Copies of this chain bind each other. A is one copy, B any other.
Amino acid sequence: MSFLKSQSSQLQLKGIRGAFLDFIDDPFYVSEAESVRYVADGLLVLADGKVEAFGAYGDLCAEYGEIAITHYPNRLIMPGFIDTHIHYPQTGMIAAYGEQLLEWLNQYTFPTEQKFKDKAYARNVAEIFLDELLRNGTTTALVFACVFPQSVDAFFEAAEGRNLCMIAGKVMMDRNAPAALCDTAESSYQETKALIQKWHRRGRLRYAVTPRFAITSTDEQLRLAGQLLQEFPDVYLHTHVSENVDEVAWVKELFPDCQGYLDTYAQAGLVKERSIFAHGVHLSDQEFQRLSEAGAAVALCHTSSLFLGSGLFKIEQAKSTEYPVKVGLGTDVGAGTSFSLLQTANEAYKVAQLRHQTLSPFKALFLATLGGARALCLDDTIGNFDLGKAADFIVLDPRATPLMAFRNAPDTPRDLTELADRVFSLVMMGDDRVVEATYILGELAHERTNLESE
C-alpha cells in the first residue's frame, strides 16, 4: 500500500532543468546579491502544479533523478510575469492615434467598450487577450473589464478555462461617460456584489472592485465601492489615479472638498491594502506617503504614459526608504503600446534615464515578477520559485532574434555580473519572441512556434 502510494506520487512529479532566475527580496531595498536568486544549472520539481523542490541540479538529481525532466539548455527560466494594470476590452484598439487621456477615452475607448455588451463578442476578445498574455509570458494580470457584468463573466470564464490566476472586475461608472456605458451607484453596487459572490476565490480567480476613476464616479458610487470593500474585506480595489494633468485638474473641480486626487478615493475608504492605483504620474509627496501608510500599490505603465504624453513617473519616490510604496509594472493596453512586460520595462528604463535615475535590469524584472505579486498581495502563491508556490513560469530565449543571437553568446551566465548584462538585453531588446514557453500550474500553456532563423 505505501509502495503503491509512493509510486503514484512519484508519477505525478516532473522536473524542469535549466538556468533559473527569480527574486527572494526587493533589490530596491537590499543588495542584488541578497535579492537575486540565480541557479545556473537548476532543477525545478513540480507536483500537482506547485513547486515541490527547487535548487541546484547537482543537489537534487540524486533524489529526483528518475522523474521526467524537460531540459532547457541556454535558456533562462523565470517566474511568469505579472501585469498589474491592463484593460482586456481594449485589446483591439491598441495604437489609437493622436490624443491624450481624456480625449482618447471619448474618441476611442468608450465607443469600443460598448461592443462588450455582447457576451459572445466579449468572450472572443477575452480569449485573444489571454493568448497575448501567455505569448508575452504574462501569467497573472489585474484586469479592467467594462461596465457590463457579462463582460466580467466572459473574462473569468475564459481565464478559468486556462487555470489562470487572474483578478478582474466590472467597471463602475455613473457619470461623465456615454449613457450606454453608465450604470448607477446602486446598480453598480448590486452587480458588483453579485459578481463577487459568483467569482471571487473561485479557483485561482479574484475580484477587484473597479470604479474607472474619480471623474466617472459620483461620491455615492465611490461610497458604495467602499461599502463593498467592507463587506468583502479580501477583494481588491482597482482604479486609476493622477495620470494626466488635465485629469487631475478636473478631479479637483469635481471634488472641491478633497485634498487632492487620492483623497477622493481615501474618503470613500478605497485606499488600503489590496488597492492598486494605475499610473500615479502626478502624485504628490503626501499622496505617496498615504499610499505607503495604507499598504496600497501603484501600477507603473510606462508605454502608456509615454503614448498618451501623461508624464514621467518618479520611481525613486515610490521606492523611497522613508515611505516605500508597493509597485508593479502594468502594460495598460490599449493605451499601452505592447502586451510585453519586457517592452514596458524598456520604457521604464528610458523614463528613469530621462530623470537621471538608473533602473537596473534586476530591479525591472523584480517589478515584473515578485514586485508585482507583492503589489497584488499574491506573493504567498506566485512571484518566485519558493516551495509550495504555483508553477507559473516562463522559458526565455536570450538569442531569439538574429541580433540578439549576435549580441548574446550561447553560453549560460556564470555569475550575477554576466547575468545582469544578459537580462538587460532581454529588457531592452526583448518582446514576445523571447518567450519560448509559458507554463501554467506546471503545464505548457504557450509555446513559440516559429522563429526566423538565417
Interface residues of chain A, those whose CB is within 8 Å of chain B, are 91-95, 97-98, 100, 128, 131-132, 135, 306-309, 311-312, 337-339, 346, 349-356, 358, 360-361, 401-403, 406-407, 420-421, 424-425, 427-429, 431-433, 448-454
Docked pose: A311 CA to B346 CA in angstroms:
16
Question: With A431-B431, A450-B452, A451-B450 as given contacts, are A339 and B97 in contact (CB-CB < 8 Å)?
Answer: no
> Does the CB pair A406–B128 fall under 8 Å?
yes
> For A352, what are the chain B residues with a Cβ–Cβ distance below 8 Å?
309
**Shortest distance between the CB of A11 and any CB in chain B (Å):** 31
Instruction: State the number of copies, please.
Output: 2
**Shortest distance between the CB of A323 and any CB in chain B (Å):** 25
**Shortest distance between the CB of A307 and any CB in chain B (Å):** 6
> For A91, what are the chain B residues with a Cβ–Cβ distance below 8 Å?
403, 406
> For A350, what are the chain B residues with a Cβ–Cβ distance below 8 Å?
306-307, 309
**Shortest distance between the CB of A332 and any CB in chain B (Å):** 13
Docked pose: A228 CA to B184 CA in angstroms:
75
> Does the CB pair A94–B407 fall under 8 Å?
yes
> Does the CB pair B97–A420 fall under 8 Å?
yes
Docked pose: A94 CA to B128 CA in angstroms:
33
> Does the CB pair B407–A353 fall under 8 Å?
no
Docked pose: A433 CA to B429 CA in angstroms:
14
**Shortest distance between the CB of A247 and any CB in chain B (Å):** 14
Docked pose: A366 CA to B387 CA in angstroms:
55
> For A360, what are the chain B residues with a Cβ–Cβ distance below 8 Å?
97-98
> Does the CB pair A424–B306 fall under 8 Å?
no
The winner among A135, A354, A361 for most chain B CB atoms within 10 A is A354
> For A452, what are the chain B residues with a Cβ–Cβ distance below 8 Å?
433, 448-451
A355: nearest residue on chain B (CB-CB)?
A: B309
Question: With A98-B358, A449-B452, A450-B452 as given contacts, are A403 and B353 in contact (CB-CB < 8 Å)?
Answer: no
The winner among A94, A312, A350 for most chain B CB atoms within 10 A is A350
Partner of A429, one of B337, B356, B358, B429: B337
Q: List 26 A-B contacts (CB under 8 A).
A: A91-B403, A92-B407, A94-B403, A94-B425, A95-B407, A95-B424, A95-B429, A97-B360, A97-B361, A97-B421, A100-B353, A100-B356, A128-B406, A132-B403, A135-B402, A306-B350, A306-B353, A307-B349, A309-B352, A309-B353, A337-B346, A337-B428, A337-B429, A431-B431, A450-B452, A450-B453
Given contact pairs A92-B406, A95-B425, a sample of 19 additional A-B residue pairs in the complex whose CB atoms are under 8 Å apart: A91-B406, A94-B407, A95-B429, A97-B360, A97-B361, A97-B421, A98-B360, A100-B353, A100-B356, A128-B402, A132-B402, A135-B402, A306-B350, A307-B428, A308-B353, A309-B353, A309-B356, A450-B450, A450-B451
